[in-house]
Amino acid sequence: MNNSKLDIKIHPKEGLKMTITSSPWLRLCAGLSMLLCAASVTVLAAVPMVKVVIGLFH
């Protein structure tokens, strides 16, 4: 297996600094969770706009 070193730094006033060794499975899970969070925010932002566009055609 190809494990790699992963540095995580979340900065609001020098908060959480972490270094871990991650497996490919852990990287996949972290990447998918970030993509799902981004997709949910995008869908929540798009719903009101779609309602307005549909309302224009009725």
28-50 pLDDT per residue, tens: 888 899 899 999 999 999 999 98
**Cβ contact 20:8 at 8 Å:** yes
Which distant-in-sequence residues (6+ apart) come within 8 Å of 4 by Cβ? 21, 22, 27
**pLDDT reported for residue 10:** 78
41 phi-psi bin (left φ>0, alpha ψ -120 to 50, beta other): alpha
Task: Answer whether 0.75 is exceeded by the pTM.
Answer: no
Q: Give the C-alpha separation, 26 to 22, whole Å.
A: 6
